[in-house]
Chains A and B, each alone.
Chain A
Amino acid sequence: MRKVLLLLVSCLVIGLILSPCVWSKTKIIKVGINAPLTGDIPKVGEGTKYAAQMWLEDIKSAGGLEVGGKKYPVELVIEDNESKAESAVKVNTKMITQDEVMVIVGPQASSQAIPAGEVANNYKTPMISPWSTNPDTTKNRPFVFRGCFLDPFQGPVAANFIKEEFGFTKAAVLYDVASDYPKGLAEFFKKAWEKANGAGSVVAFESFTTKDVDFSSQLTKIIKSGAEVLFTPQYYNEVALIVQQAHELGWNKPITGSDSWGSAETVELCGKDCYGLFFSTHYAAAGAKGATKAFIDRYNKKYGYVPDDVGALTWDALQIVQKAIQSYGKITGNVEKDRKGIRDALANIKEFDGITGKMTFTEDGDPIKCAVIVRISEKGEYEFYKSVCP
């Protein structure tokens, strides 16, 4: 018993010595990045990390972040949420209570951003999710913001685009019922589609659960339903499987998607099957101009591929955070006070001109911005097709 106790105590002591000094009170601006580096959507995590590191590079080369005439060093705390809701919550709690970050950027997917936002809001720490489009992420949470449009906007955009482009009246939806983002968006799409084409015009509303790989029975049902188009708001790894299986079952009508398709890896996994398909998203890399192009070129040069929407949105979110910290104008060293100040500054930003477009923020901390319809070209690039503004 005594031996065990001794071992335990010595372990604790060593642990304490090795842990980074959380007591020292040098005034560092700590920004937490809550990203899915492993798990179902690792490419999303990679884009987040790379964009954040590029931002940090800029700050470092400027000698720190200038706040109220004084330069402060910035530190990024990048943590992996394994693209799981419970891990995202854990990561947020750890970053807030142990690392004492001032502001959190992330999580990206709604199924993590919604529960993690709850934690951030409870601890009164400002959080901005660059990519989460589900309304629940920021709803009634004064400390939670986002950098992208919402699904109640994206659903109608996707529905109206199909209507205008193809003139179809019967649509099918295939979505993951266990994930917040696809589920929410599928329902918003259905609502918008039935509003335009009458009740019952979504002829098949089929679902599956996360990690499923075989969609043959759902797709067979969809084909039988006589639908003219398939809308599937899924993440990039599922898109590859769904599109291929649909083609193998004899489906040769259009398949459309949403911003979750926009990953840099979609085409790599999906191949020729995805060429010529449309999806709604935040920005189009091919043919971009100005600051957007500068960002794309720099990212491409550094990491060897064209950044996807997650990278661009994370970049914008960090710029918004930077602007908020600077307009707050001081770092007191009292982290709770600083968090509150940064939140107020974030809420005070009414307009922002980012690389993913101009945004105006509403009372809830949600931006109003334009969506882009992208076509996957025969070279596998994301081509700008048209822009839809609210």
Chain B
Amino acid sequence: MVFFFQNLINALQWGSFYALIALGYSMVYGILMLFNFAHGDIFMVGAYIGFGVATGIAALASLGAIVLPNWLILVLTIIISMFLTSFVGILVERLGYRPLREAPRASAAITGLMIGIILETGNLALLGARRVRFPSLIESATYNIGGVYVTNKKIMIVGVSLMLMLALHQFVRRSKYGMAMRAMAFDYVVVPLMGVPINTIAAMTFAIGSALAAAAGILFGIAYPVLDPYMGIVFGWKAFVAAILGGRGSILGATLAGFLLGFIEIFVAMIFPSTLRDFIAYSIILLILTFRPHGFFGEPYSARLRL
């Protein structure tokens, strides 16, 4: 039983990352019918921006210019990095996707791949191939609850992720912009005719997705403190799987599918030899898709309308 709960905790943390990144894919896909394949790399950029901001603030604090407790540095790091990374997202949309909005879908998809490569190699050129260690902003504390080991980091990661997801949900459900986004996801030919500014909404979607990816990047850096320029590729693919599994444009779907993916990966490794982890995990997902080709919350007709 202890073994099961330990794996459950592990899966919750791992699933949070998938869920946060899947949200970015899902929103862009839902609203613009676009696979933003650069999203995994925006996650990487977010992690590096977080690294830069955290190191900067920590350096200022150690110089005595400002006095801040570590948790506040972390909060500031997350907020500032989310803000900065959202501009990366806007830039990607403005330079990469907007000129191609009327182009065939495949062109937009490869644009994403190319932007991804540009971000990776740009980072490589800027910072070199050296790995960087994400600064440990919070002192790790491990709690033993009846044989299950939980760290303060894990609680924080899952907590912050859930908070962000809830905030996004509220934004999309309750605000005027959220309504515009939902309307565009419903029909992006007619809705702009009603006076909804398509460019603003598109840029905003990218900004929000990128900000979430940045938050994921920082939390990732806290949990797995070794950053490298290629960290977003495979991770991005897997989060993309979660986004599609959740259903087109569904925030709830992407969140649930992200956690589900984390659970499947961890529990497959728990039961079967770990060598077969991804093999079995992704076979299961393929099977799920066979029975639910539109994902958990996807609507068949909308896909038929656009593709």
CA gap between A271 and B139 in the complex, in Å: 13
> Are B130 and A249 within 8 A (Cβ)?
no
Shortest C-beta distance, B305 to chain A (Å), equals 38
CA gap between A130 and B95 in the complex, in Å: 46
> Are A213 and B274 within 8 A (Cβ)?
no
> Are A37 and B274 within 8 A (Cβ)?
no
Shortest C-beta distance, A122 to chain B (Å), equals 30
> Are A206 and B274 within 8 A (Cβ)?
yes
> Are A220 and B224 within 8 A (Cβ)?
no
A191-199, A240-248, A276-284, A364-372 - interface stretch: A240-248
> Are A221 and B131 within 8 A (Cβ)?
no
B270 close to chain A: CB less than 8 A: yes
CA gap between A209 and B80 in the complex, in Å: 34
* Chain A residues with CB under 8 A of B278: 209
> Are B133 and A249 within 8 A (Cβ)?
no
* Chain A residues with CB under 8 A of B151: 248
A224 close to chain B: CB less than 8 A: yes
A99 close to chain B: CB less than 8 A: no
Shortest C-beta distance, B40 to chain A (Å), equals 12
A179 close to chain B: CB less than 8 A: no
A322 close to chain B: CB less than 8 A: no
Shortest C-beta distance, A213 to chain B (Å), equals 4
A43 close to chain B: CB less than 8 A: yes
* Chain A residues with CB under 8 A of B228: 40, 237
CA gap between A38 and B124 in the complex, in Å: 8
Q: Which residue of A lies closest to B262 (CB)?
A: A214
Shortest C-beta distance, B7 to chain A (Å), equals 6
> Are A207 and B275 within 8 A (Cβ)?
yes
> Are B129 and A250 within 8 A (Cβ)?
no
Q: Which residue of A lies closest to B266 (CB)?
A: A217
B170 close to chain A: CB less than 8 A: no
Selected contact of A240 from candidates B153, B225, B234, B269, CB within 8 Å: B225
CA gap between A42 and B153 in the complex, in Å: 29
> Are A248 and B133 within 8 A (Cβ)?
no
- Given A218-B269, A248-B151, A248-B153: A271 touches B136 (CB 8 Å cut-off): yes
Number of A-B contacts (CB under 8 A): 86
For A, the interface residue count at a CB cutoff of 8 angstroms equals 34
> Are B14 and A248 within 8 A (Cβ)?
no
- Given A42-B128, A216-B10: A250 touches B270 (CB 8 Å cut-off): no
B149 close to chain A: CB less than 8 A: yes
8 Å CB interface, A8-31 against B: none
Of A37, A206, A216, A268, which is in contact with the most chain B CB atoms at under 10 Å from its CB?
A216
A50 close to chain B: CB less than 8 A: no
Q: Which residue of A lies closest to B142 (CB)?
A: A248
Selected contact of A248 from candidates B3, B140, B270, CB within 8 Å: B140
Q: Which residue of A lies closest to B148 (CB)?
A: A250
Q: Which residue of B lies closest to A265 (CB)?
A: B131
> Are A237 and B226 within 8 A (Cβ)?
yes
- Given A211-B234, A269-B226: A218 touches B133 (CB 8 Å cut-off): no
- Given A42-B128, A213-B224, A248-B140: A220 touches B6 (CB 8 Å cut-off): yes
> Are B274 and A220 within 8 A (Cβ)?
no
8 Å CB interface, B135-150 against A: 136, 140, 142, 144, 149
Chain B positions 223 through 257: 1 when the CB is less than 8 Å from some CB of chain A, otherwise 0: 01110101100100000000000000000000000
CA gap between A247 and B7 in the complex, in Å: 15
> Are B6 and A269 within 8 A (Cβ)?
no
Chain A positions 223 through 242: 1 when the CB is less than 8 Å from some CB of chain B, otherwise 0: 01000000000000100110
CA gap between A248 and B150 in the complex, in Å: 8
Chain B residues proximal to chain A, CB less than 8 Å:
3, 6-7, 10, 13-14, 124, 128-131, 133, 136, 140, 142, 144, 149, 151, 153-154, 224-226, 228, 230-231, 234, 265-267, 269-270, 273-275, 277-278
15 contacts between A and B (CB under 8 A): A39-B129, A45-B129, A207-B273, A214-B14, A217-B7, A217-B10, A217-B267, A217-B270, A220-B6, A220-B7, A221-B269, A237-B131, A248-B140, A248-B142, A265-B131
Chain A residues proximal to chain B, CB less than 8 Å:
37-40, 42-43, 45-46, 177, 206-209, 211, 213-214, 216-218, 220-221, 224, 237, 240-241, 244, 247-250, 265, 268-269, 271
Extra contacts, 6 of them, besides A207-B273, A240-B226, A249-B149 (Cβ < 8 A), are A39-B129, A40-B228, A42-B128, A46-B130, A217-B265, A269-B226
